[in-house]
Chain A
Amino acid sequence: MEYKDYYKIMGLERSATQDDIKRAYRKLARKYHPDVSKEPDAEAHFKAMGEAYEVLKDPEKRAAYDQLGANWKAGQEFRPPPDWDSGFEFSGGGFTGAGAGGFSDFFEELFGRGRGGGGFHHHSGFDSRGFNAHSQDHHAKVEIDLNDAYYGATRSIGLQSPELDSNGQLRLRQRTLNVKIPTGVKEGQQIRLAGQGAPGIGEGGKGDLYLEIRYKPHPIYTVEGRDLHMTLPVAPWEAALGAIVKTPTPVGPVELKVPADSNSGSKLRLKGRGIPGNPAGDIYVTLNIVVPNTTNEQIKSLYEELSRKAAFNPRAGMGT
């Protein structure tokens, strides 16, 4: 198990006051909150600092952590001292952290799972494993390929949910669900699986499971609702004279008519070729004129001829 330097994670000195800790947490939480942040690994950062804050904000846990000493380095192999835990009472308030599934082994070794009296109380914050003991409904995120929205797909989803065992101990139950992703699903949409939420704590009863859909980034298309947007390279003469060109779509290439006198930035619409649905989305193709290189003498002389004959000033509108 690796030692975790909670002060370093939060960018704090060991001498930080409780107010410093709270301020640092608020600042980092805004920076790394997965709903807000576009930082890479925002979610991992957010979880790490949530755990750090869980310990440092609580004077009892902080004192216990500090007792380990300042000589540990982050990542160092860690075993708690044999007399660890003697003389510390972790009372009240207790476990309000990001969920029992969210904390590291290091945390659990020091503070146990769900320690803090009877009141096991999840905060309902961001947790990709997504459970919430208040409710009987559970949430998880699923990442799919764009093609899955066209053809549908079956995904195996690993979930962990907290449950009380026969001794009243909190355990994480692992389960795997095979879920059919329906065609036509949009980014950010929820899929509801009735009756698949794990049993709630206390109240019992099965709720629903909600899966939030995320698309993996695609090298060609960006997705907006059911519409796809893409940039299609065309040759100068294709744009000038008009042409039938082949353009990719997620279900295979189609022929697209580029009208004469098109320009870079001109938009063409492939109606109904976006993500299936009622109505199906469209594909918007933005043309991008690509100029062939002029290392070939003959091509160069043709350009020179064009330049003489066209007498074209593309910057006329700029007064130059």
Chain B
Amino acid sequence: MVKQTTLTGIIVDENTELTLVQLSQACGQPAEWVLALVEEGIIEPVGRDRTHWRFRGKSLRRVLIVRRLESDLGVNLAGAALALELLEEVEQLRRKLEREPIKLPG
């Protein structure tokens, strides 16, 4: 019943390129929805036209977060884009704080 094969995956990183179809399949949304994210400036494709578009690996994470924010919190794309940017900024600040904790007197 339980399969025990060891699989090796590929890291989706800056060097990974995803097509529009792959990206839309990965997030379970129609291509039109992904196109709306491009319009909103949430993800940026490389390539001259849609058939040649490629998305960097980090687009996948952004797309997944936007999809969850949209469906769970009922925000629209512009709101999700704003939340995403603020989340990334909070994340950076939080890391900075971990590295250089503010020492309060007393």
Contact = CB atoms under 8 A, between A and B. Distances in A.
Interface residues of B, number: 37
B69 interface: yes
B57 A190 contact: yes
21 contacts: A33-B68, A35-B68, A35-B87, A46-B72, A132-B28, A137-B25, A137-B27, A180-B6, A181-B9, A182-B10, A185-B11, A189-B12, A190-B12, A190-B57, A191-B12, A192-B16, A210-B26, A210-B60, A229-B98, A229-B99, A286-B99
Given A180-B9, A185-B11, A286-B100, 6 more contacts: A38-B94, A124-B68, A132-B28, A190-B61, A192-B9, A193-B9
Given A182-B11, A189-B11, A191-B9, A137 B74 contact: no
B4 interface: yes
Nearest to A183: B11
B75 to A, nearest CB: 9
B7 interface: yes
Nearest to A230: B99
A61 interface: no
Contacts of A290: none
A174 B57 CA distance: 29
Interface residue SS majority, chain B: helix
A189 B60 CA distance: 9
Contact of A125 (B6, B72, B95): B72
A20 B42 CA distance: 33
B67 A178 contact: no
B17 to A, nearest CB: 12
Nearest to A32: B72
B25 A135 contact: yes
Contacts, number: 117
A189 B12 CA distance: 6
Interface of A: 26, 29-30, 33, 35-36, 38, 46, 50, 123-126, 132, 134-137, 139, 154, 174-182, 184-186, 188-194, 196, 207-208, 210-212, 222, 224, 229, 265, 284, 286
Contacts of B95: 222, 224
Interface string B73-103: 1100000000100010000001100111000
Contacts of B4: 176, 178
A201 to B, nearest CB: 11
Interface string B1-45: 011111111111100100000000111110000000000000000
A33 B73 contact: yes
A124 B2 CA distance: 27
B71 A30 contact: no
B7 A126 contact: no
Nearest to B94: A38
B65 interface: yes
Most chain A CB within 10 A, of B7, B69, B95, is at B7
Contacts of B5: 177-178
B71 A124 contact: yes
B60 to A, nearest CB: 5
Given A180-B7, A189-B57, A33 B72 contact: yes
A29 B11 contact: no
A318 B3 CA distance: 68
Contacts of A229: 98-99
Nearest to B64: A139
A135 B28 contact: yes
Most chain A CB within 10 A, of B25, B61, B83, is at B25
B105 to A, nearest CB: 14
